Structure 1
Amino acid sequence: MNKNEHTHLQKNIGLFAAFSTVMGTVIGAGVFFKVSSVTASTQSAGLSLLAWLAGGLLTICAGLTSAELASAIPVTGGAIKYLEVTYGKLTGFLLGWAQTLIYFPANIAALSIIFGTQFTNLFHLKAGLILSIAVICGASITGINLLGTKHGARLQSVALIAKLIPIAVIIAFGLFAPSNVHLSLIPEHFTTSQTLTGFSGGLLSTLFAYDGWLGIGAIAGEMKNPKRDLPLAIGLGLTGIMIVYLGINLVFLKTLPISDLAGNLNAASTAAGQLFGNIGGKLVTIGILISVYGALNGYTMTGMRIPYAMAKEDSLPMSNHLSKLSRTAVPYVAGIVQLVIAGLMMIVGSFDLLTDMLIFVMWIFNVLIFYAVIKLRHTQPDLVRPYKVPLYPFLPVVAILGGIFVLVTTIIDQPILATTGIVITLLGIPLYLVTKRKSS
């Protein structure tokens, strides 16, 4: 072993850094862009806010449920380890395979491209520079994280504070600003099948915006007091996110009519222009850049820990390299591999489709995680649980039913996408069997 390399991750992450990772990872581009797809589905201000509220409550139930496993099994790898303990090695491997190959790199690629697009728009640069800026953006985040966990966590905390400032200004000013838009919070004709279909579509869109919270478990092994801080970070972080999403979407709906919001990816800039004048669009663009950069850091920091945790158990090809730590105690090979995959996705440009597939697949694993809480209560009653999900078994059951709703709706509305996502994930089974045979 190189004398400059470490063999163990260092416990440098406190409560605020973990809380910042939850909020900073989830609050990315979705807070600005998802108003477009949500309103396009619901065609109603009241239904849109109800979708954001329902998505937030479902995510809080999911987070508080999974936090029981996170506190009982506070190790690097997060959800992979929860599934291994409950269902066996193969189930955990398939989740890690899906996250390593597509989920985290695809999110990094998508956020980097969004950053490049907004950056060129802000400074009126040529569209041909978007890819170069995206690559530089993704590489800079990986570079910062390779300097050490403290640097990545510090960036996450600073980015969270910086991104919440423009959001808070928009919310505070927008709620009290005069408006000519009639805002009805009571959905009309709520019992019609068309309205229910619109609500389900809006809910699915909000869940994409709330995605990212599960990754916090991947850094549990580097937290100073994971059994106390991890459940707090998840619960407080997701509650804060829901409040932010409800507040800023209320401002958008109060400022612009549904017809101007639905399908308009620049709705946030348009609304800010109405509130602040010409400077409004630039303010929101800067907010988007900060927000996306912070979310990108969260996905990068948590994502590189997944292949590292799997390689420590010799579960991946080249595990002897992927399990290496730098002199700053960071899984640098795993981080570089993640960046390379993300870079290829930026060039190919298929990250949107891949991300949509894996969102569906992630919810399959999410449902398994929620059920694992109930299963382990029976199979391992003596497992030390510093935190237990409140209102048990109500919250886990709500999380499971919500997850099943997401899966069934996706299968009905996008069967090809759902099938492709499942097939890509199942391709990990042959790799698992080959790796296991070589290891034996």
Structure 2
Amino acid sequence: MAVNEHDVVGSNEGELKRTMTFFPALSTVMGTVIGAGVFFKAASVAAVTGSTSLHMLSWFLGGLISVCAGLTGAELAAAIPETGGMLRYIERAYGEFWSFLLGWAQVVIYFPANVAALAIIFATQFKNLFGMSDAAIIPIAIVAAASIMLINFLGSKAGGMFQSITLVCKLVPLALIVIFGLIRQGDVSVSLFPVQAGTQVGGFASALGAGLLATMFAYDGWIHVGNIAGELKNPARDLPRAIAGGILGIMAVYLLVQFAFLRTLDISALAGNENAAMDVAGKIFGGMGGKLVTIGILISVYGTINGYTMTGMRLPYTMGLEKQLPFSDKLVKLNKNQIPYIAGILELVIAIGMMMVGGFDMLTDMLVFVIWIFYTLVFIAVIKLRKTEPDLVRPYKVPLYPIIPIIAIIGGVFILVMTLINQFQLAMVGIVITALGIPFYLYLKKKYK
């Protein structure tokens, strides 16, 4: 359905005007998804795949699944442009209980685990750059997360400005590593065919599943790109182009970065190497140049922490307004800058607790597993709502329906099943923490009935 430039979302004055065209939408998609994962998940993907060919295939398939996921999820984002995003899609399709569980999982796992994991990787790189001891990692991580929280307490304008500045620092190291890493004479030969798992890892399917799980942290963020649907002049035409083009562009960048990594470090040197990004930068640019690129990566990670902090503190606030969390009356309190500071402190405390018990890979794998349970439910909801609400206005419909949603569902189920097989205890921890929300839901529903 074409929408002209005078149309607006809804009929009330003050709602979003449709002014965004294709290229701003494309840059929004790429800016939303690109984060720290491309630099720091290379080590874990290399470790679980054991070969250059399967390493690259994992990143390629992760991108394709993300394209199908983004194209599928965007149908609900365009049809249900309400505050809360995925919470509202889940509620519409499955009811309040599942929506609450998603909110609970995001409050106690997804956002704090993202902040904790990124703060740990920031601290690890900071420690390596300045030659500090391992004992400094947790204190530095806490300072990084707490300092960003304090910046956000100054107001949404301060947090947003900081995010804009760090966006540039995110792209510069990527561009430098891709350009100079590819034109530089590589030290290592990279074999892309035949595609096979390394001899030191398990079977092909389990290695691919573990590799996909790791790449999904780097591709995460596609669920938010549908939120721009309400500001597009022509969502039916431009939204699928922006999502497919944006994620394919991200996939191309990620593959080029990984190829540059593999040309610089042998797969065995890359596997499990938390300092891989710094080692690659040092080899490509030399001592001082490598340190400058590493500082750019650090600023990029710091900015990514800011993005999850800004978003994360607002979710318990929103759920508090709806009386969906314990101590809801406290979580809705705002400071003088109109920031939900109690909700922010809650998220920070949970994140610090996670820093104490888990490393970067453990935390990111757990959060990806938990959130993909709900992502997969979103894909199924697209098909479900097509049947139960055929008259729902859909400014954008997923192309090649139902093929693309089915691919997204299969990809999601594969990631979940392989995580249960390969990392059963980790998956169970995520499921148990999510299920702990059920007693709170039942108690609060009865209390505020």
Same fold (TM > 0.5): yes
* Partner Cα separation in structure 1 for residue 252 and residue 223 of structure 2: 19
Pairwise CA distance, 1:49: 1.3
* Partner Cα separation in structure 1 for residue 240 and residue 158 of structure 2: 23
Q: Once structures 1 and 2 are overlaid, which stretch shifts more, 131-140 or 295-304?
A: 131-140
Tell me the equivalent position of 2:377. 368
Alignment-mate amino acid for residue 382 of structure 1? D
1:26-425 alignment runs, 5 A limit? 26-188=33-195, 194-214=203-223, 228=235, 235=244, 237-326=246-335, 328-349=337-358, 353-425=362-434
* Partner Cα separation in structure 1 for residue 445 and residue 186 of structure 2: 63
Pairwise CA distance, 1:173: 1.2
Alignment-mate amino acid for residue 307 of structure 1? P
Pairwise CA distance, 1:105: 0.8
Alignment-mate amino acid for residue 105 of structure 1? P
Pairwise CA distance, 1:326: 5.0
Alignment-mate amino acid for residue 210 of structure 1? Y
- 1:26/1:295 contact within 8 Å kept: no
- 1:107/1:351 contact within 8 Å kept: no
Alignment-mate amino acid for residue 141 of structure 2? A
* Partner Cα separation in structure 1 for residue 444 and residue 356 of structure 2: 30
Pairwise CA distance, 1:322: 2.3
Q: Once structures 1 and 2 are overlaid, which stretch shifts more, 325-334 or 306-315?
A: 325-334
- Aligned-residue sequence identity (percent) comes to 58
The number of equivalent residue pairs is 430
Alignment-mate amino acid for residue 395 of structure 2? P
- 1:46/1:184 contact within 8 Å kept: yes
Pairwise CA distance, 1:310: 1.8
Change (3 A) 1:19 1:173: same
Change (3 A) 1:350 1:198: closer
Pairwise CA distance, 1:400: 0.1
Alignment-mate amino acid for residue 85 of structure 2? G
Tell me the equivalent position of 1:439. 448
Change (3 A) 1:129 1:44: closer
- 2:181/2:260 contact within 8 Å kept: yes
Deviations 1:188-210 (A, max 9, x none): 558x9834443333222212322
Q: What is the TM-score with the length of structure 1 in the denominator?
A: 0.87
Pairwise CA distance, 1:360: 1.6
C-alpha RMSD of matched pairs (Å): 3.3
- 1:21/1:156 contact within 8 Å kept: no
Pairwise CA distance, 1:143: 2.8
Alignment-mate amino acid for residue 278 of structure 1? G
Change (3 A) 1:226 1:67: farther
Q: Once structures 1 and 2 are overlaid, which stretch shifts more, 78-87 or 307-316?
A: 307-316
- 1:35/1:249 contact within 8 Å kept: yes
Alignment-mate amino acid for residue 311 of structure 2? T
Deviations 1:380-410 (A, max 9, x none): 1222222221221111110000001011111
* Partner Cα separation in structure 2 for residue 321 and residue 188 of structure 1: 54
The 3-state SS of whatever aligns with 2:41 is: helix
Pairwise CA distance, 1:411: 1.3
Change (3 A) 1:194 1:260: same
Deviations 1:135-184 (A, max 9, x none): 23212322333334343333323212211112101101111112242222
- 1:56/1:210 contact within 8 Å kept: yes
- 1:74/1:220 contact within 8 Å kept: no
Pairwise CA distance, 1:50: 1.4
The 3-state SS of whatever aligns with 1:68 is: helix
Pairwise CA distance, 1:349: 4.8
Q: Which runs of 5+ in 1 are unaligned?
A: 1-8
Q: Which runs of 5+ in 2 are unaligned?
A: 1-13
Q: What is the TM-score with the length of structure 2 in the denominator?
A: 0.85
* Partner Cα separation in structure 2 for residue 298 and residue 72 of structure 1: 25
Change (3 A) 1:102 1:195: closer
Alignment-mate amino acid for residue 81 of structure 1? R
* Partner Cα separation in structure 2 for residue 25 and residue 347 of structure 1: 28
Pairwise CA distance, 1:216: 5.9
- 2:47/2:271 contact within 8 Å kept: yes
* Partner Cα separation in structure 2 for residue 320 and residue 171 of structure 1: 49
Deviations 1:68-96 (A, max 9, x none): 11122222222111100110000000011
The 3-state SS of whatever aligns with 2:81 is: coil
Deviations 1:363-383 (A, max 9, x none): 111110001111111111222
Pairwise CA distance, 1:350: 6.7
Alignment-mate amino acid for residue 257 of structure 1? D
Pairwise CA distance, 1:301: 1.8
Q: Once structures 1 and 2 are overlaid, which stretch shifts more, 14-23 or 333-342?
A: 14-23
- 2:39/2:277 contact within 8 Å kept: yes
